[in-house]
Amino acid sequence: MAEYINIKGQNIEVVASDPANPTLGQIWYNSTSNTLKGFGYQSDSWATGGNMGTARYQLAGCGLQTAALAFGGYNAGPTSLTATEEYDGASWTAGGGLNSHRRFIGGVGIQTAGLAYGGNNIGSDLASTEEYNGSSWTSVTSMPTARKYLNPSGGFGIQTSAVVCGGITPGSPTYVTSALEYDGTNWTSANAMPQAKAFHSGSGILTAGFVTGGEGPGTPSTLEYDGTNWTSGGNLNTGRSGASGTAGTQTAGIYFGGYDGTTTTALTELYDGTSWSSGTSMSNSRNQAAGSGTKTAALAYAGVPTPGQVATEEYTGAAPAIVTITAS
């Protein structure tokens, strides 16, 4: 077997403590722990987080892995939920309730500045919009037209600069392509998507965002928005609807769970702005759940089956890390 010195041209350093700033590929022997260690890439993973207080699905969520917001949804008839919960990276606590009961709801923003829009309650489709300030929801300007089937997000952006697209509007026999922009005060019409979507997820900001998945048994298409126009992005490897995404960016997205036309999945896919690649699957299959965070630090919570889960999972993206080298 080849020796390390013949491969790398150097001896393995013996140290009492791990280097403060190791370089990729560096290997050393820690004499304190009596272990051989190296600095390389650690694979992505999902881990169990704190359970939600209220089981639900068809909800919306926003924020970061360590500061997330969940609101609305459904768990038992006939009324949709107003319940809001906040996550601190370890546990969920109750926040201020929505002013309107709503499921099939969309939402974007951060924990202290969330935006909820649309949805449905007891057969009534909603155009109303609400803003969250970290403790309570305030009703603001409604969308021009009611729309539902936006969960888990139906758009992307922040509380003062958001895009909402797709879903289904009253009187429409099928999903729509229409899009709206919100500036923190008013809603205005935006260019329509080239393809209708519902039960879709988005990431990014108003001038650089995307939506993906959605529609019936699940479409693989991704549509990117530059603040004016929509263009086609890379297709998902597995088309599905009701899967969750995160705040992310147009060039760093994540998409997990959903329904592929046959079954509810635990699949995870990662977006680099051009193409989707497979990541590590969640422990729990879930559809019509919610997501928060980024491509490297995401959060998945709630969803079906059960119906309505309280389970939360935290995602850590692949990254350089110190690892202990053991014999295979």
Is 218 or 126 the better-scoring residue by pLDDT? 126
Distance (Å, whole) CA 209 – CA 155: 8
Nearest to 286 by CA among 319, 270, 308: 308
Do the beta carbons of residue 83 and residue 105 sit within 8 Å?
A: no
Report the C-alpha dihedral over residues 258, 290, 317, 209, rounded to 10 degrees.
Answer: 90
Q: What is the pLDDT of residues 60-110, one digit of tens each?
A: 999 999 999 999 999 988 999 999 999 999 999 999 999 999 999 999 999
Tens-place pLDDT, residues 131-153: 999 999 999 999 999 999 999 99
Q: What is the DSSP letter of 199?
A: S
> ∠ CA 154-156-161 to the nearest 5 degrees?
125
pLDDT at 5: 46
Q: Provide the token pair at 306.
A: 């059960």
* Helix or strand (DSSP H, E) at 8: helix 4-8
Biggest alpha carbon distance in the chain?
A: 73
How is residue 11 written in tokens? Answer: 């001896």
In angstroms, the first-to-last Cα distance of the chain is 14
Can you say how many angstroms the Cα of residue 322 is from the centroid of all Cα atoms in its chain?
Answer: 28
* Domains of the chain by residue range: 4-42, 45-316
For residue 257 the two structure tokens come to: 């769970």
pLDDT band at 3 (very low <50, low <70, confident <90, very high): low
Rounded-to-integer distance, Cα 205 and Cα 158, Å: 7
**Which range, of 50-59, 144-153, 276-285, 317-326, averages the lowest pLDDT?**
317-326
d(CA 55, CA 12): 52
Side chain identity at 11, as an amino acid letter? N
Domain 45-316 belongs to what topology? Neuraminidase (2.120.10)
In angstroms, the Cα distances linking 323 to 10, 19, 26, 32, 39 are 20, 12, 11, 15, 6
Q: In this structure, are residues 287 and 258 in contact, taking their beta carbons and an 8 Å threshold?
A: yes
The per-residue pLDDT for range 220-263, each reduced to its tens digit, is 999 999 999 999 999 999 999 999 999 899 999 999 999 999 99
Phi first, then psi: what are they for 276, rounded to 5°? -100, 140
